[in-house]
Structure 1
Amino acid sequence: MSRLVLIDGSSYLYRAFHALPPLTAPDGSPSGALFGIVNMLRATLKENPDFTAFVVDASGPTFRDALYPEYKANRPPMPDELRAQVEPMMQIVEALGFPILRVSGVEADDVIGTLALQAHAAGIPVTISTGDKDFAQLVRPGITLTNTMTGSVLDDAGVFEKFGVRPDQVVDLLALMGDTVDNVPGVDKCGPKTAAKWLAEYGTLEAVIAGAEKIGGKIGENLRAALPRLPLNQQLVTIKTDVPLDQGPADLKLRARDVEALRGLYTRYGFNAALKELDGGAAAPARGAKAAAPAAAPEAAPAAELSAPGEYECVTTPDRLQHWLAQLAAAPLVAFDTETDSLDPMRANLVGLSFAIEAGKACYIPVGHDYPGAPAQLPRDSVLGALRPVLEDAGKAKLGQHGKYDLHVLRRHGVTVRGYAEDTMLESFVYNAGGLRHDMDTLAQKYLGYETIKYEQVAGKGAKQILFSQVALDDATKYAAEDADITLRLHQVLSAKLAAVPSLQSVYRDIEMPLVPVLERMEFTGVLVDVAELRRQSADLSQRMLAAQQRAHDIAGRAFNLDSPKQLGALLFEELKLPALVKTPTGAPSTNEEALEAIADQHELPRLILEYRGLAKLRNTYTDKLPEMVNPDTGRVHTSYHQAGAATGRLSSNDPNLQNIPIRTEDGRRIRTAFIAPPGKQIVACDYSQIELRIMAHLSEDPGLLRAFESGQDVHRATAAEVFGTTVDKVTGDQRRAAKAINFGLMYGMSAFGLARQLGIGRGEAQDYIALYFARYPGVRDYMERVRQQAREQGYVETVFGRRLQLNEIHSRNQAQRAGAERAAINAPMQGTAADIIKRAMVSVDAWLAGQGGRATMLMQVHDELVFEAEADFVDVLVPEVRRRMAAAAELKVALVVDVGTGKNWDEAH
């Protein structure tokens, strides 16, 4: 699972300065704070975060200064010896490749808080690296604090243990205590224990204020004297979480390290351990790499010929084309690549092709460079005609890097590539799915020690970037021929690595490579979309939004902006006096979905706002956007599937993201009605039933779980009967819901806290449920412990078919990271096996469809579902064959069950 690490740079600079002795560099300049920062960043890099940022305070006043001019007024100026280390610190951070964030008008805390909640909303676990207690207010499941100087980690339980309050009470605790560092005066003589005691009794600052008259003694007098300033205190200590930012969490990837800059800085300041690590570690990704990644494990030095410069030829005459055609025809393996004028393969025009048959030698055949003064090139159609016998020969093995794109481009230009046998992106992905990015630039640096030419170097970047058709032939040849050459070199290295691990080679050879042409055909086919229906839905949603807006205005007695949380909060909580049952991380009354649901039974307006928001999301995300994605040449939507995305092997898709089309509401399901079959055809949806639970039964071999599936019972009802000690026919709806939450939750490492939250029960009761579950299904408990132990011993876990998920954090000293790795160890074999099964099914079904004369085509893969388009009179032939092949995609100890539906559109097929 991806992870975001946010580093509180401002906090660590001061802490390192005060915690470490006054060290000096060889030239006598101060270096103690720098030394602490460098060690902290090196420790962070060793944890291999997926996304990270180094956040520091910007110069100038913030909004808190406007609220309270005395804010931080008593802070002394920065010591000169610390000031001297700020600029070199930023140079080191920059050279290490960390994104650096400074935002004017707010503090670093606010930037971190905003990113943390954005990542949390996207399902990305967050670690905030800080020593600042204020960040405890952000902690929740999925957001933890770590102090790399002390090794301590704070989660929900840790916050309560340290402060005596829940994370959502930390803001109120700080408001009562005050903060001498920031010059925020609290209640006189009120320390953390007193503040925690009041909050334990009253719950919130507002309630403490309301009950101030009841608190006796001198401390009560002090509280009452401080009442006028407590609301302001609350504002000042609340971390802002809605800062407008140019970058989101997914944009915060490590850039390439500048090794030479680091070497100079480390040498200047005498950081010998860091220098030794730099010189002795793996080659760093080259600056400007398309997808820089955390430094991976060092690789053995490649053979000299694999890291040497290549010799490349630009083919512009018939005789040189014939020369290369002869070499391609004789070669056992042909590496190829295409150059185009678009990233969209369904619209890209071919600009040139490159080929390599031995390391260090490659050619580029330009066919579409059209800049003024461009040299004469061979006609595109004649080149493709000459290449067709090689490219369409199924007996001639071809190799690419993410070659599915190239297969698309060539198909659109009349060439159907056959014999696509190797793909370096997939070799890298199968060999180490989570270890690094799998783009060619990153792989070349890691496995070859070779720095590739970047696209920006030949085409420019930003607004000045030109199309590849405008790139000069000399530059284009060096760039394009290198692509084919490096792909061939990478294959020589990666194929040997896979051959050394037979189970991984089998995953690559039997699952991933056969799937490439299957996905390419699915993407090329696309799915027919009823644009008129989507327009009707958009119009209907707009009318209903307008009606909801008018109704809301009528209820409120005035107009207000339904999309403004500020205006909505003022209306609900100040004018209508509705209770603020949910707070934002800043301590303000929340107007999010959870908050509105909590008060929806007390007033008509919150329910109306929820209805309005749901309608707006459907319109803005789907009914308005999907028509824009329809290809004008085909009238269809052509999604792109990604094989090398999720480490578990799950396919993902984008443009559009088919996995996210909503199905929980009637309005959401209507979206699927726009995915239609042409006249005379039907949509057929085939969905694995509870596949991950079936895999859990297979892996755990628990007799009770196996028995529930073998009997054909509703497994959640059967589980409820076991856990609650009743008969299946007497299980209540709430008991089944609890059993379902346990069944699925345990596969994702859900704790008693998480189960309690999901079911709305106490943590003790949730723990009792889990204990009962394990008592009834001891095989599940034993499996979970067994797989954790395997992960600790081997550093990875495997699917039924041998796919591996490396767990680099399984031995982390960071408890939260280690716990995350253990949860992944339990879940990955099930998710990964499910991914392998449906991929195997797709290959099998596609092979059968190839012999059916085009009477049915596979359109989409969504979660555990395959969707087909079939001639109406062929459906009765298709369904049993697909069901049989999907069920036979794995031999488990319980049968795989496939649910099938048909209809004129995707929704009807459900």
Structure 2
Amino acid sequence: MSETDQVPQPEPKVLLLVDGSSYLYRAYHAMPDLRAVPGDPTSPATGAIRGMINMMQKLRRDVRADYAACVFDAPGKTFRDDVYPEYKATRSPMPDDLRAQIPAIHEVVELLGWKVLNVPGVEADDVIGTLACMGTERGFVTIISSGDKDLSQLVNEHVTVIDTMNDRRRDMTGVEVEFGVPPRLMVDYQTLVGDSVDNVPGVDKVGPKTAVKLLKEYGSLDALVARAHEVKGAVGENLRKALDWLPKGRELLTIRTNCDLKDHIPGFPELEDIVIGGQDVEKLKAFYDRYGFKGLVKQLEEHEVPPELIEENRKKARAERPAPGLFEEPDLSGLSQATTLHYETVFTWDQFETWVQRIEAAPLVALDTETDSLDEMLANIVGLSFSTEPGLACYIPLAHDYQGAPDQLPRDDVLQRLQPWLEDPERKKLGQHVKYDRHVFANHGIDVRGYAHDTMLESYVLEVHKPHGLASLAERHLGRTGIDYETVAGKGAHQITFNQVPVDKAAEYSCEDSDQTLDVHLALYPKLERDTKLRFIYDLEMQCSEVLYRIERNGVLVDAQALARQSHELGQRIMQLEREAHELAGQPFNLGSPKQIGEVFFTKMQLPVVKKTASGAPSTDEEVLEKLAEDYPLPAKVLEHRSLSKLKGTYTDKLPQQVHPRTGRVHTHYAQAVAVTGRLSSNEPNLQNIPIRTAEGRRIREAFVAPAGCRIASADYSQIELRIMAHISEDEALLRAFREEADVHRATASEVFGVALDQVSSEQRRYAKVINFGLIYGMSAFGLARNLGIETAAAKSYIDRYFQRYPGVKSYMDETRLAAKSRGYVETVFGRRLYLPEINSPNGPRRGSAERQAINAPMQGTAADLIKLSMVKVQEVLDREQRETKMIMQVHDELVFEIPEAEVEWARVEIPRIMASVAELRVPLLAEFGVGSNWEEAH
């Protein structure tokens, strides 16, 4: 028979087994807090149900199967609990919200066409192991979908495990590459290492590397046990101690492949009952209606197609898709998204021009830069990716320079060709953390305009309490997993820069980033458009991103010589403190070592123990030192030493090293999507935490200077959170104090202590100031007493009198707590949502903390909104009037400027006026303005 006459062999049947228990936990943690009644945190949770639907639908699209089952753990004990009562004893209980969703998850998985199995007394892994073994006996190809590494022991020529979370494929080669041993030795490997998740001990001090080394040397666990007397050192000693345990450990960790499933699969041991079925459309509609999944109902109605057409489209997609992977297609979730992916690497000018035409014709383009550094002021472009529609993306490699790298288009020529589009504000662009990309393009002389959207900020506004990284967003909202950076560039000491990443890997990674960014935007932006208040906050964040980019780009000038002098003086004082501390202790000791401090304080000197650490040792944290310093001189010396050492290490030594070599300035980075209140955070260097309560801390601000011909100016909102409290609470006494421009702390003292305004003492005003700000932060009577150094009963009396005089404040606090418990979040004056996941927690301290946050967050969040509105408005005026004044720092409620001397008087009048007029509250806003040759003088 000739080769052309040979009869084609039929493709083997595919058995797809889903680790349902792994899936449901992943679905629960990946999805937002969805409820059957949207916005009502008291209604049943549905996030895990929705996530499970997304994942099961996606898996069915991605993996062709003839037989399929979704296997869950059944409640109750298994044989392992009888063998070892401590089995899984350290696991946290399943969250109640998740447990309540399990029956519905089982129901919907069946309606989607899957056989659902949960076998009493048998773990899901053992059911999967039995079915996988049966599949191998029948010549099936078996695919197990799970993130559980334990299932790797089932892998053979016919069984593969796919990890949907990390897009990892564990076939025989994959297992050995990942763990260092072949699948046949996985049980031996696990027995030596143990399983901390399931509370199964291994051999003490034997980790993965040692286990691999032993198994390679001896060939198997049995051979190792037989020759345990030969193993030297601590490893050998620990191995011999564990010999009696190892058989039981192996029994616990071995997945069974011979479970009797006849009561759960009719016709067992035949598998016809788990042939994959079609979804029950009518029952699914009723199910989706019941749980409020309107988008899924619409999807069912709009996308019902004959099964034969579905299969035809699948074949077509597989044929058209380049370099197919298992988990490339996004979950539709009611959106109009591509069913295939087309990623192209651009090497020629013809390809490039084709893509330029696509980019110029698209209404919105997602773009991503790949660079050689995470430092946005130093990073150079290595490559660019663009996505013009879901599933369609290109990567343009420009500066990959490893040995053997393919020829690439010249970077400068490509950027010059793209520059008109990049700098056109009418050409709408989209990115993930666009501020970074703006800096990178600016490093190449391109001022990108027209960034219309940023998926990081969309997430930050919609779900501030969730992670905002692209990988997390894609998984949470699309069910898509992707390639992480460490996969292409390595990690730790072995990580390479992106210019060393092979172009093919770089292209897949970068195209996926742009493609997912566009998909995430399509999922998130409609939610913002439907909510006027959230849309306002999002627009504000986008405008603020532009201003922050300019602040970061401007940088601030520091006097390195002044810092060097301060550093020397601090060093002298630190050494003097060490000598004085050693004299007081009667011995030398390391003032930077908590252990040695503890030994001197509590063992030698027998100082009282204020509190203990989690391990039971006496604590030497700052709070303890401050308490002890009230009565003992040595803790005061240690406290001062610690404070000055931090100043020296963090600022006077480090700031000169952070001066940018090209600009001669320090350029901080403002993280915009971190704080749940909307506040910005500054890092590398942190310019917001320079201490100002000590003379040494304030001197550091003296080193922030203006260049010749300029001055430093500071504009700071006055008592902003108290003003916001007056506005929100509508308390008449507070409103009156601010409207009359009274000293609000003196007015509060007058009310609380029942004395005339002109009779208020400085001590009473100090108490009133602590009460005013303490109550804003939800301070209790105990906290107030500790802060003022008075008895708790006296503090409670002050709080009671405060609320009698300011009943509107008390009403606000009570109503806010109730509203937060009902909705799960509070809002700023402008509509920013501040979520409180622990507000209904059964844990008293956590719930109490959330209640305090509920009171403070609207004020702190509104203050954050106001300073952002001010930044945007001030920059708008500076641009419109073509002023040379530069905004160079933002520090909480303060803006710092570098102002030409000719514009100082204009700024002194206009900047406070602009800041005071960005919003109309029930009380006037007041911004104070100062000017000096350095930041400290201005402030």
Same fold, TM-score > 0.5, yes or no: yes
Q: Does 1:671 align with 2:700?
A: yes
Which one of 521, 530, 536 corresponds to residue 506 of structure 1? 536
Which one of 723, 727, 745 corresponds to residue 694 of structure 1? 723
Secondary structure of 1:636's partner?
coil
Q: Match of 1:795?
A: 824
Q: Match of 1:895?
A: 924
Q: Match of 2:413?
A: 382
Q: Match of 1:769?
A: 798
Is the CA contact (8 Å cut-off) linking 2:537 and 2:832 kept in structure 1? yes
Per-residue Cα deviation, 1:668-708 (whole angstroms, up to 9, x for no partner): 00111111111111111000011111000000000011111
Query: 2:260 and 2:839 mapped to 1: Cα distance?
Result: 34
Per-residue Cα deviation, 1:63-85 (whole angstroms, up to 9, x for no partner): xxxxxxxxxxxxxxxxxxxxx99
Which one of 858, 863, 870 corresponds to residue 841 of structure 1? 870
Per-residue Cα deviation, 1:49-70 (whole angstroms, up to 9, x for no partner): xxxxxxxxxxxxxxxxxxxxxx
Per-residue Cα deviation, 1:457-500 (whole angstroms, up to 9, x for no partner): 21122222211111111111111111111111111111111122
Structure of larger gyration radius: 2
Structure 1 residues 886 and 574, CA gap change in structure 2 (3 angstroms): same
Query: 1:759 and 1:751 mapped to 2: Cα distance?
Result: 12
Per-residue Cα deviation, 1:596-633 (whole angstroms, up to 9, x for no partner): 55555766544444333332221112111212221111
Which one of 546, 551, 573 corresponds to residue 517 of structure 1? 546
Structure 1 residues 822 and 567, CA gap change in structure 2 (3 angstroms): closer
Is the CA contact (8 Å cut-off) linking 1:33 and 1:85 kept in structure 2? no
* Residues 713-862 of structure 1: pairs in structure 2 closer than 5 A: 713-853=742-882, 855-862=884-891
Secondary structure of 2:414's partner?
helix
Secondary structure of 1:869's partner?
strand
Q: Does 1:582 align with 2:635?
A: no
Q: Match of 2:422?
A: 391
**Unaligned ranges ≥5, structure 2:** 1-74, 101-189, 206-252, 265-287, 294-329
Is the CA contact (8 Å cut-off) linking 1:361 and 1:485 kept in structure 2? yes
Is the CA contact (8 Å cut-off) linking 2:548 and 2:670 kept in structure 1? yes
Query: 2:373 and 2:776 mapped to 1: Cα distance?
Result: 41
Query: 2:842 and 2:889 mapped to 1: Cα distance?
Result: 42
Structure 1 residues 643 and 593, CA gap change in structure 2 (3 angstroms): closer
Structure 1 residues 579 and 553, CA gap change in structure 2 (3 angstroms): closer
* Identical pairs, percent: 52
Per-residue Cα deviation, 1:180-223 (whole angstroms, up to 9, x for no partner): xxxxxxxxxxxxxxxxxxxxxxxxxxxxxxxxxxxxxxxxxxxx
Q: Match of 1:352?
A: 383
Q: Match of 2:648?
A: 619
Is the CA contact (8 Å cut-off) linking 1:578 and 1:599 kept in structure 2? no
- 1:317 offset after TM fit, Å? 1.2
Structure 1 residues 821 and 102, CA gap change in structure 2 (3 angstroms): farther
Which one of 547, 567, 582 corresponds to residue 538 of structure 1? 567
Structure 1 residues 102 and 708, CA gap change in structure 2 (3 angstroms): farther
Query: 1:27 and 1:603 mapped to 2: Cα distance?
Result: 57
Per-residue Cα deviation, 1:559-604 (whole angstroms, up to 9, x for no partner): 44444455556656676x5753735447776655555555557665
Q: Match of 2:447?
A: 416
Q: Match of 1:338?
A: 369
Greater shift, 437-446 or 875-884, is seen at: 875-884
Greater shift, 362-371 or 817-826, is seen at: 817-826
Structure 1 residues 665 and 310, CA gap change in structure 2 (3 angstroms): same
Greater shift, 834-843 or 821-830, is seen at: 821-830
Structure 1 residues 570 and 706, CA gap change in structure 2 (3 angstroms): same
Greater shift, 611-620 or 712-721, is seen at: 611-620
Q: Match of 1:476?
A: 506
Which one of 656, 670, 673 corresponds to residue 641 of structure 1? 670
- 1:93 offset after TM fit, Å? 8.6
Secondary structure of 2:830's partner?
coil
Query: 1:562 and 1:772 mapped to 2: Cα distance?
Result: 45
Q: What residue identity is the alignment partner of 2:489?
A: A
- 1:392 offset after TM fit, Å? 0.3
Secondary structure of 2:937's partner?
coil
Query: 1:683 and 1:266 mapped to 2: Cα distance?
Result: 75
Which one of 70, 78, 81 corresponds to residue 25 of structure 1? 78
TM-score by length of 2: 0.66
Per-residue Cα deviation, 1:636-689 (whole angstroms, up to 9, x for no partner): 111111111111111111111122111000000011111111111111100001
Which one of 486, 496, 499 corresponds to residue 456 of structure 1? 486
- 1:24 offset after TM fit, Å? 3.2
Is the CA contact (8 Å cut-off) linking 1:498 and 1:505 kept in structure 2? yes
- 1:90 offset after TM fit, Å? 2.9
* Residues 431-470 of structure 1: pairs in structure 2 closer than 5 A: 431-434=462-465, 436-470=466-500
Is the CA contact (8 Å cut-off) linking 1:25 and 1:269 kept in structure 2? no
Query: 2:97 and 2:937 mapped to 1: Cα distance?
Result: 50
Structure 1 residues 564 and 495, CA gap change in structure 2 (3 angstroms): closer
Query: 1:556 and 1:873 mapped to 2: Cα distance?
Result: 58
Is the CA contact (8 Å cut-off) linking 1:307 and 1:449 kept in structure 2? no
Secondary structure of 2:928's partner?
strand
Is the CA contact (8 Å cut-off) linking 1:459 and 1:471 kept in structure 2? yes
Structure 1 residues 765 and 482, CA gap change in structure 2 (3 angstroms): same
Structure 1 residues 579 and 449, CA gap change in structure 2 (3 angstroms): closer
- 1:394 offset after TM fit, Å? 0.8
Query: 2:545 and 2:877 mapped to 1: Cα distance?
Result: 16
Per-residue Cα deviation, 1:90-120 (whole angstroms, up to 9, x for no partner): 34599xxxxx99999xxxxxxxxxxxxxxxx
Structure 1 residues 571 and 833, CA gap change in structure 2 (3 angstroms): closer
Q: Match of 1:90?
A: 196
Query: 1:265 and 1:394 mapped to 2: Cα distance?
Result: 63
Is the CA contact (8 Å cut-off) linking 1:527 and 1:859 kept in structure 2? yes
Is the CA contact (8 Å cut-off) linking 1:332 and 1:397 kept in structure 2? yes
Secondary structure of 1:90's partner?
coil
Q: What residue identity is the alignment partner of 2:608?
A: A
Query: 1:556 and 1:442 mapped to 2: Cα distance?
Result: 52
Secondary structure of 1:877's partner?
helix
Per-residue Cα deviation, 1:317-336 (whole angstroms, up to 9, x for no partner): 11211111111111111111
Q: What residue identity is the alignment partner of 1:799?
A: T
Structure 1 residues 103 and 860, CA gap change in structure 2 (3 angstroms): farther
Q: Match of 1:407?
A: 438
Secondary structure of 1:786's partner?
helix
**Unaligned ranges ≥5, structure 1:** 1-21, 48-83, 95-99, 105-261, 273-279, 283-298
Query: 1:424 and 1:772 mapped to 2: Cα distance?
Result: 48
Is the CA contact (8 Å cut-off) linking 1:307 and 1:448 kept in structure 2? no
Q: Match of 2:404?
A: 373
Q: What residue identity is the alignment partner of 2:679?
A: R
